[in-house]
Amino acid sequence: MRLAQFISNEMEAIVAEWESFAATLLPVANDMSSLELRDHARQILEAVARDLSTPQTRQAQVDKSRGLAPAAGPRETAAQTHAVLRARRGFDINQLCAEYRALRATVLRLWLENGRVQPLELDDVIRFNEAIDQALTESVNFFSSQVERSRNLLLGMLGHDMRSPLQTIQMTAHHLGKLNNGEDVSAAAARLIRSGNRMQALLDDMVDFSRTKLGLGIRVAPTPVDVAALVDDELDQLRAAHGTQTVELEVTGETAALWDGRRVQQMLGNLVGNAIRYGEPTAAVQVAVSGGDREISIEVRNRGPAIPPSALYRIFEPLERGPDAQNRTGSKDGLGLGLYIAREIARAHGGEIQAHSDDTETVFTVRLPRTCCPPD
């Protein structure tokens, strides 16, 4: 009996063994019903049987063995839907793959035990393995994307929900600082304010990161701004936070623009803050704003060790911190998202950031069109 026909004839026995194996995947299977354990097993097997019955070229065989079979159409396959449901139930990737390994072994064992396998039908084994591998590829791809999406949604919700208690802490710290109850209270209030501001920046980066990974991008609301005034205000705040560091500003040309001022200050804060943390402490961080006919550029320069080319290539990627993750104070400050967020803000304005580093200096250059369009 050909394997496709055997699968169709023995569908219930195969699915029953699928269910029995799925029930052993603890603890996630503890409270799952028979229907949930079986999930899309029948539909997956039906797709495999159809595949076995369909003529196949040599190239199609090679593509399928590599998980590159053509898409079935606009609708999800049974394997893709199965992956999403397993991810939502809390299965991990190893448990998902184990289901397919068990399914492969079950079908071949039952077919061989059937006792009517002919030598010419061994080609069915190859075709069957290819079909199972294709289903596994579809499941793993969808499973991974579902887990990634769930993680990013969690990060976004966590960052959003933590803002309210953080704002309460910050307001209380400011209130304590105004009570004038002695130097100890004032110093403690100042520490709370600094820590609260740092936590706020981390939460903002986390929320922005989750938005970009969900495909939503950085949200910008352009309004008429004076870029020179925006930059000067942000640098004043950075000087206050880093009292021993000199930060110089040079402005040339016309600096009126249609930008999201808050986002541009966030971008600049990430770039200058990075220069202060990793640059030479005795050398000034230099910021230059230059207005052109159609665009405005912002350069941030600092002296210090050169960034290796291998690290410079990945420096704008999320969670990338370079070979030396410690700043000059010896702490591992931040989440490794600052430069990634800065780049996404630049892109949201229709611009880009470039980085250059050698033994003399490190330079980050932002170029944005003078007029920024809001996202669709």
DSSP string, 232-262: HHHHHHHHHHSTT--EEEEEES--EEEE-HH
Q: Locate tokens 């050169």: which residue? A: 306
Q: What percent of the chain has pLDDT over 70?
A: 78
pLDDT of the residue at 286: 95
Q: What is the mean pLDDT of residues 58-66?
A: 73
Cα gap 185→174, rounded to integer Å: 11
Per-residue pLDDT band for 71 (boundaries 50, 70, 90) equals low
Confirm if 361 and 287 have CB atoms less than 8 A apart: no
On the question of pLDDT at 328 being above 50, the answer is: no
- Residue 357, pLDDT above cutoff 70: yes
Q: In the numeric block, which tokens belong to residue 140?
A: 């793993």
- Half-sphere exposure of residue 258: CA atoms within 13 angstroms, side-chain side: 7
**In the chain, pLDDT over 90 holds for what percent of residues?**
27
Instruction: Band the pLDDT of 325: cuts 50, 70, 90.
Output: very low
pLDDT confidence of residue 285: 94
pLDDT at 143: 78
In this prediction, residues 109-133 reach a mean pLDDT of 75
Beta 295-302 vs 352-357: how paired, if at all?
unpaired
User: Which one has a higher pLDDT value, 163 or 172?
Assistant: 172
CA distances (Å), origin 120, targets 2, 3, 17, 52? 10, 12, 27, 14
Q: Helices in the chain by DSSP H: which ranges? A: 3-9, 11-22, 34-38, 41-53, 58-65, 78-89, 93-114, 122-178, 183-213, 227-241, 261-278, 309-313, 338-348
Q: Give me the domains of the chain, ranges plus CATH numbers.
A: 1-216 (1.10.490.70), 223-369 (3.30.565.10)
pLDDT at res. 330: 46
Among 18-22, 34-38, 48-52, 333-337, the minimum mean pLDDT is found in: 333-337
- Grade residue 247 by pLDDT with cuts at 50, 70 and 90: very high
Mean of the pLDDT values across residues 230-242? 86
Give the separation between CA 52 and CA 54, rounded to whole angstroms.
6
Contact 110, 13 (CB under 8 A): yes
The answer on pLDDT for 150 being more than 70 is no
Mean predicted confidence (pLDDT) in 150-164? 62
Q: Which pLDDT score, from 0 to 100, does residue 159 have?
A: 60
pLDDT reported for residue 318: 73
pLDDT (0 to 100) of residue 245:
81
Q: How confident is the model at residue 169 (pLDDT cuts 50, 70, 90)?
A: confident
State yes or no: pLDDT of 222 exceeds 80. Answer: yes
pLDDT of residue 319: 61
Mean pLDDT score of the chain, rounded to an integer? Answer: 81
Q: Label residue 268 left, alpha or beta by phi (over 0 means left) and psi (-120 to 50 means alpha).
A: alpha
Q: For the chain, how far is it from start to end, CA to CA, in angstroms?
A: 58
Name 285's bridge partners.
Answer: 247
Is the predicted pLDDT of residue 216 greater than 50, yes or no? yes
Helix (H, G, I), strand (E, B) or coil at 357: strand
Q: Return the amino acid letter for 138.
A: E
Of 75 and 295, the one with more pLDDT: 295
Nearest to 135 by CA among 89, 92, 99, 111: 99
* pLDDT for position 156: 58
In sign, the C-alpha dihedral spanning 119, 123, 126, 130 is negative
Whole-angstrom distance, CA of residue 78 vs CA of residue 145: 16
Nearest to residue 198, comparing CAs of 208, 186, 206? 206
Angle, helix 41-53 to helix 122-178, in steps of 10 degrees: 140
Tell me what pLDDT residue 376 has: 47
